[in-house]
Amino acid sequence: MAFELIPLPAFRDNYIWLLAGSKTAVAVDPGDATPVLEALAKRQLLLAAVLVTHHHADHAGGAAILAARFDCPVFGPAGEAIEAVNQPLREGQQADIPALETRFKVLEIPGHTAGHIAYCGHNIVFCGDTLFSAGCGRLFEGTAAQMSRSLAKLSALPDSTAICCGHEYTVANLRFALAVEPDNRDILDYAEDAAELRSRNLPTLPSTLGRERRVNPFLRCGMPDVVNAAERHAGHELRNPIEVFAVIRSWKDTFT
């Protein structure tokens, strides 16, 4: 079945993702039900399922309303308490959606939250607030080691994988990426492209994993230029990529 992948803006900078078939759709991380209901009505679609990556309200807050309206399953992380979730999932399990003749494999990717999961299928990964374009999520409930392993897990997907994350942070993330790697031509080119898209109020997403490997400092913690930048910022030698990740994540937290 052919799908249309639609980013629905919500709140200040969120995206709710709608994966639409000819008659039905799946909503991913609906923090607000209203944009989903409006998109479904406009396209004359029924909602077949809701996928939730983690418990934060801007990703899960509209799930119960949508489930009640369409009597559909709500998939979510088994390791987090989300009231609307009635199909809890762990790594290796799948979100099966017969109405769209599709299923998504689950990856556990803790770091931003303790039980955060991603959904992979159809050359797409819905990765919530773990991997952003040119960035990654803050460590609210996990450790640098956990997040580093989670990003490595996502980075093992094919280069062509569409990165469908939860926020429009790309322009700001690229400013930081340039602070880490000011001579990286891929970052410079992407920054120009992203700024032009945002000037027209268009999304920079989805990105691709191949692009992210070239521009995202959090996926490049073994690259010499990133290591050198992290060591200069830290003021001492760093022993491994996890220590590099920890330094640049802390650096990003205070970067303006």
CATH number assigned to the domain comprising residue 30: 3.60.15.10
What does the pLDDT look like over 186-217, one tens digit per residue?
999 999 999 999 999 999 999 999 999 999 99
| pLDDT of the residue at 256 | 86
Task: State yes or no: is 56 an active-site residue.
Answer: yes
Structural domain boundaries enclosing 127? 4-254
The one catalytic residue among 54, 116, 159, 189: 54
pTM of the model: 0.96
**Predicted local confidence at residue 2, as pLDDT:** 80
122 is annotated as an active-site residue: no
- Catalytic, 129? Answer yes
Q: What domain count does the chain have?
A: 1
Query: Each residue of 18-71: pLDDT tens digit?
Result: 999 999 999 999 999 999 999 999 999 999 999 999 999 999 999 999 999 999
Give residue 48's pLDDT. 97
**Residue tagged active-site, from 129, 183, 189, 193:** 129
Residue 1 has a pLDDT of 62
Whether 233 is a known active-site residue: answer: no
Pairwise CA distance, residues 96 & 191, whole Å = 37
